Amino acid sequence: MPNPIAQYLDFANHHASTTPADIEKLCASVIEHGFHAAFVNATYITQAKKLLAGKAPVGTVVSFPLGQDTVNAKVAAVNEAVQLGADELDVVPNIGAILAGQTDVFAQELTSIVDSAKMPGKPIIVKFILDPGYFDTLPDKKEKMQMTARLIQQAGADYVKIGSGMGPRGPSLEDVAIVREAVGPDMKIKVAGGVQTYAQAKAFIDAGVVRIGTSKAVEILSGAPAETSTQRMPISE
């Protein structure tokens, strides 16, 4: 039986140098270890779907890692990813809009993307990425992070994802607490970036995180004790 912590891990490969052989290895590991999902670049969605054959979801990223494509470009990418069979989308919003005080622009982008992704008959999971490092120099850091998280929630997204793995820094337990305070107990939170050990992963899970995106899923699992009190989560999460 897979270690319970495996179900919290999205095994990801978003490198520019990724090859089809790398995706084969990724998907084989997802099946072998019981990781929640395989996260791949859009060009490999079809291959991953075939390899996993319904044994685990396939996720992809949109406008990664900058988030500064036009809204139309993001919507087109979302539509194509859904049509190719992606089950989950981790989308980078235009954080620059929030930093510039363009709240309405930011909110409209989120809504347009969610409305495009949630096609009839396709239960797509949408996560928007809040890269915490971009807020660190703001005098009202907490307030801006919480406003961003609430706008993500209000747009109808399924998750606030803290960290892209490509931003100024990775997520912290403080970030999780800030976001949780803003969105309440029911909104799901994912983290990504710099989580490489079992101890780090367990700390985030204990803080209420329900998903961790990582390229180090195998290493995290190898550090897990044979028996752990971590509760197994349903795959629909």
Q: DSSP readout, 162-226?
A: E--SSSSS---HHHHHHHHHHHTTTSEEEEESS--SHHHHHHHHHTT--EEEES-HHHHHHTS-S
What letter would DSSP give residue 234? P
89 within 8 A of 81, measured Cβ to Cβ:
yes
Residue 213: C-alpha distances to residues 19, 31, 96, 127, 162 (Å)? 20, 16, 23, 12, 10
Global confidence as pTM: 0.94
Instruction: Calculate the average pLDDT of the chain.
Output: 94
228: pLDDT strictly greater than 60:
no
Q: Dump pLDDT digits (tens) for 57-74.
A: 999 999 999 999 999 999
Q: Which of the residues 90, 131, 158, 175 is marked catalytic?
A: 90
Q: Which of the residues 161, 188, 202, 216 is marked catalytic?
A: 161
What letter would DSSP give residue 85? T
Region 191-197 average pLDDT: 96
Q: Dump pLDDT digits (tens) for 119-152.
A: 777 789 999 999 999 999 999 999 999 999 999 9
Of 163, 217, 150, residue with least CA distance to 190: 163
Q: What is the pLDDT of residue 2?
A: 75
116 within 8 A of 95, measured Cβ to Cβ:
no
Q: What is the pLDDT of residue 227?
A: 59
Q: Which of the residues 49, 127, 144, 190 is marked catalytic?
A: 190
CATH architecture assigned to 4-222: Alpha-Beta Barrel (3.20)
Domain ranges of the chain: 4-222
Note if 190 is an active site residue: yes
Q: Dump pLDDT digits (tens) for 88-117.
A: 999 999 999 999 999 999 999 999 999 999
Q: What is the pLDDT of residue 121?
A: 73
* Residue type (1 letter), 172: S
3-state helix, strand, coil in the chain (%, to 5): 45, 15, 40
35 within 8 A of 6, measured Cβ to Cβ:
yes
